[in-house]
Amino acid sequence: MLRATGLAKSYRAPSGAPIRVLDGVDLAVRAGELAAVTGASGSGKSTLLNLLGLLEDADGGELWFGDERVSALGRAGKSRARGRWVGFVFQAFLLVPSLTALENVLLAARYAGRPAAEARRRALALLEELGVGDRRDHYPAQLSGGEQQRVAWCRAVLNEAPLLLADEPTGNLDDANGAVILDGLRRRAHAGAAVVVVSHHPEVAAGWGAVYRLREGRLEAA
Amino acid sequence: MRAEAVPRVLRILRGYAFTIAGIAIGVGGLVTLGAMSERIVRFIEGGDRFVLGQISVAGRGMGMGAGFTAGGLLPAATVRAIAAVPGVTGVQPQVMLPLNPSTSQFLTLTQELVLGLDLAVLMPNRHYRALPVRAGRFLRAGDRRVAVLGASLAAARGLRAGSRLTLEGASYEVVGVLERMLTAPDRFVFVPIEDAREQWVAKDQLLQTVLASGAAALTAADLNTGAAVGWAEGEDPDAVARRIRERVPGLNVQLPSELSRLLRSSTAFFSALLVGIGALALLIGGLSLANTMAAAVFERIRDFGVKRALGATDLQLAREVLAESLAVTLAGGLGGVALALVLGGAIDGWAARAGQELFDFSPRLLAGALVFSVLLGAAAAGYATRRVVALSPAEAIRRGA
Ligand SMILES: Nc1ncnc2c1ncn2[C@@H]1O[C@H](COP(=O)(O)OP(=O)(O)OP(=O)(O)O)[C@@H](O)[C@H]1O
Ligand SMILES: [Mg+2]
């Protein structure tokens, strides 16, 4: 389902010197599989997820969604591929501040061109399931960090995209809510999605797929 | 969905309150400056309409009179001859004298003049059946020893309706003051023609002698310096003017179109000034609007990144931005128009005490300002959106953090 080969990414330090964050990452995640990525802070986990979610172009390497080589797509093609293939949970939630919790969740359906009424029903059910149903008309600023994270989770899974990329989706949650989301990740994999999760709880992948460690720009089995 | 549209728009607008206020200020400035230049346009057009509304004729030098103004005399017989020319409908004899004999003998646009009008005849000017009076009234048939003053002349001498004015030793009551026209009549004293004739004779030694001798068989009715001539409906004024020129000798006939050209060149400064004001208003108001609108888009750079990460295409984002910028600039534009109307109204209320009016909020100005703001707002938002979507979603999110 998801296949990356030789992904490389460098940034420029303020001094102008290049920082090689990813140096040839290979990764394959099949449908129904859940891969967990761990690694030290600053090792490039978020960078890798950005590349996998087409949020940024790699300097080198190839990326395949199914049998579509998405790394070769143009701007519009990448936009459409994001809407059709990817659900993304950002490390920093990234809810749109001018929209309510419910509207934030529905954004995902809007750009993917899903029918509005059905999306709305599903969004309400998801918010309810995550315990933020009564916060649906709140704006992000009126939500706690954990509540924002749960709303962001709902947005990422609304479309039931074949690819779910989650960057520390339980970072701000208590154990109970964290468990709901970890369970949600497994359920997405069970439903046939390829899931990549950056987490300090690599045990989430136990029985569902591999655990990787990102070190010195490369992925290694942990 | 429809029912939700109104609160949705209101909420979007609330999110842009600051932007809307900024646009309102820009548009408000644009509209107030524009209204000032509209006022000037109206003045200039007023003068132009005046000269295009009549054919002006003057007597050609007969060696009579003191040689001031155009110098000639337009005897009653000539006035009748003009009236007999086909296409002519009305001839109003006039006497034009310099108010202050020490000034130049040539007619200039800045000269103060006495204009005597034969009130027994209707004003033949097609566009001004009467001159616009600001205070008091205009001259009427049967008036004697009364005067109506042009705005500049009245202001310069501190005269109002009810004041008294001495001309050639005789005392006149000022019965009216005209609106400012930004053209020659601003410096005129209008009096009944009989009074003007008396002044003329009083000024002119030679004329006194001729009249006393009876040699030239002159009567008071012959003492005209010129006339305003009207034309019949459907006639071409320039053609009528040429016809008068051909058929009645001893006349200086001004073609209305020629005079209009002359006037336009004399108001060229004001035209340039108002083009300058307008350009400045567009530039300042436009820059402020474009800047505010672009800033509002750049402020949402992170949201653009997020939306693109969720699969929004450039086209979808452009549509969103366009709709929002439309709502925002329209709200800001309407606010700016309201601001300008309130501000201009207040200033004009104060200026009215000095008999002035500084602003002309014409419908074409208000509509133009709104269209301009909406188009410019959309262009600025579109430009900013292009810049923003050129970034990768990840980069947009980073920059907006
Ligand atoms: N735009 C950028 N410009 C320069 N350096 C960057 C940029 N983005 C990331 N980096 C650097 O790349 C490295 C990897 O960053 P990344 O965010 O991927 O780390 P991470 O593994 O997700 O860390 P954390 O666990 O703290 O979230 C860091 O050293 C960071 O300083
Ligand atoms: Mg990270």
Is pLDDT of B45 > 60? Answer: yes
- Chain-centroid distance, C-alpha B125: 18
pLDDT tens string B231-245: 998 999 999 999 999
Note whether B91 and B229 are within 8 A (CB): yes
Query: Which of the four pLDDT bands, split at 50, 70 and 90, describes residue B3?
Result: low
> What is the DSSP secondary structure assignment for residue A212, as one 8-state letter?
E
pLDDT tens string A11-35: 998 998 999 999 999 999 999 999 9
Is pLDDT of B351 > 80? Answer: no
pLDDT, mean of residues B142-151: 94
The beta strand positions in chain A, using DSSP E, are: 2-12, 18-29, 34-39, 60-65, 86-89, 163-167, 194-198, 211-215, 218-221
**Residue nearest ligand 1's atom 27 by CA:** A41
Is pLDDT of B107 > 50? Answer: no
Query: Which of the four pLDDT bands, split at 50, 70 and 90, describes residue B184?
Result: confident
The more confident residue out of A172 and A132 is: A132
Distance from CA of B321 to the nearest CA of A (A): 14
Residues of chain B contacting residue A111, judged by C-beta atoms under 8 Å apart: 307, 310-313, 316
Mean pLDDT, rounded, of chain B: 85
Taking the centre of ligand 2 as the mean of its atom positions, its distance from the CA of residue A39, in whole angstroms, is 10
Query: Which of the four pLDDT bands, split at 50, 70 and 90, describes residue B71?
Result: low
Residues of chain A contacting residue B299, judged by C-beta atoms under 8 Å apart: none
Task: List, chain by chain if needed, residues with CB within 6 Å of any ligand 1 atom.
Answer: A 11, 19, 21, 39, 41-47, 91; B 398
Taking the centre of ligand 2 as the mean of its atom positions, its distance from the CA of residue B248, in whole angstroms, is 99
Instruction: Collapse the DSSP code of B237 into the 3-class scheme (helix H, G, I; strand E, B; otherwise coil) and give the result.
Output: helix
Taking the centre of ligand 2 as the mean of its atom positions, its distance from the CA of residue B123, in whole angstroms, is 87
Reported ipTM: the value is 0.94
Residue A208 has a pLDDT of 81
Residue B2 has a pLDDT of 56
Minimal Cα distance from B396: which residue of A?
A55
pLDDT, mean of residues B123-144: 89
> Atom of ligand 1 at shortest distance to CA of A44?
18
Note whether B30 and B286 are within 8 A (CB): yes
Is pLDDT of A160 > 80? Answer: yes
Residues of chain A contacting residue B314, judged by C-beta atoms under 8 Å apart: 75-76, 79
The closest ligand to the CA of A16 turns out to be 1
Instruction: Give me the percent of chain A exceeding a pLDDT of 90.
Output: 80
Residue B64 has a pLDDT of 43
Q: Which of B2, B310, B399 to mutate to test the interface with A (most CBs of A within 10 A)?
A: B310
Q: What share of chain B is helix, strand, coil (3-state, %, to 5)?
A: 60, 15, 30
Mean pLDDT, rounded, of chain A: 93
pLDDT, mean of residues A81-87: 94
The identity of residue B344, as a single letter, is: G
pLDDT tens string B355-386: 567 888 999 999 999 999 999 999 999 999 99
Structure tokens at A147: 């509540």
Residue B240's H or E segment, with its range, is helix B237-247
Taking the centre of ligand 2 as the mean of its atom positions, its distance from the CA of residue B227, in whole angstroms, is 92
Residue A113 has a pLDDT of 86
Asked if B310 and A98 come within 8 Å (Cβ–Cβ), the reply is no
The more confident residue out of A53 and B71 is: A53
**What does the alpha-carbon distance between residue A212 and residue A36 come to, in Å, rounded to a whole number?**
6
pLDDT tens string A99-109: 999 999 999 99
Ion ligand 2 neighbours (CB, 5 A) are A 45-46, 91
CA pseudo-torsion sign B254, B256, B257, B262: positive
The more confident residue out of B18 and B101 is: B18
A90 at the B interface (CB within 8 A)? yes
Residue B216 has a pLDDT of 66
pLDDT, mean of residues B318-335: 92
Residue B356 has a pLDDT of 65
pLDDT tens string B212-225: 777 667 788 889 99
Strand order in the sheet with A211-215: A86-89, A163-167, A194-198, A34-39, A211-215, A218-221
Residue B65 has a pLDDT of 41
Cα–Cα distances in Å, from B297 out to A147, B16, B253, B318, B373? Answer: 27, 10, 64, 11, 16
Report the predicted TM-score, pTM, of the whole model to 2 decimal places. 0.73
Asked if A50 and B12 come within 8 Å (Cβ–Cβ), the reply is no
Between residues 354 and 393 of chain B, which touch chain A (CB distance below 8 Å)? 392-393
Is pLDDT of B63 > 50? Answer: no
B318 at the A interface (CB within 8 A)? no
A55 at the B interface (CB within 8 A)? yes
Query: Which of the four pLDDT bands, split at 50, 70 and 90, describes residue B66?
Result: very low
Of B302, B303, B394, nearest to A56 by CB-CB distance is B394
Distance from CA of B18 to the nearest CA of A (A): 14
**What does the alpha-carbon distance between residue B190 and residue B199 come to, in Å, rounded to a whole number?**
13
Query: Which of the four pLDDT bands, split at 50, 70 and 90, describes residue B110?
Result: low
Distance from CA of A184 to the nearest CA of B (A): 19
Asked if A97 and B303 come within 8 Å (Cβ–Cβ), the reply is yes
Minimal Cα distance from A74: which residue of B?
B313
pLDDT tens string B329-350: 999 999 999 999 999 999 988 8
Which of A61-75, B59-73, B304-318, B328-342 shows the lowest mean pLDDT across its residues? B59-73
Which of A128-142, A205-219, B7-21, B224-238 shows the lowest mean pLDDT across its residues? B7-21
> What is the DSSP secondary structure assignment for residue B100, as one 8-state letter?
S
Distance from CA of A200 to the nearest CA of B (A): 23
Asked if B311 and A82 come within 8 Å (Cβ–Cβ), the reply is yes
The closest ligand to the CA of A90 turns out to be 2
Asked if B311 and A55 come within 8 Å (Cβ–Cβ), the reply is no
Of B302, B309, B312, nearest to A55 by CB-CB distance is B309
**What does the alpha-carbon distance between residue A199 and residue A152 come to, in Å, rounded to a whole number?**
16
Of B302, B312, B401, nearest to A79 by CB-CB distance is B312
pLDDT, mean of residues A111-135: 94
**Residue nearest ligand 1's atom 24 by CA:** A41
A82 at the B interface (CB within 8 A)? yes
**Residue nearest ligand 1's atom 22 by CA:** A46
**Domain residue limits, chain B:** 2-44+268-400, 61-249
User: Beta strands A18-29 and B188-192: pairing type?
Assistant: unpaired
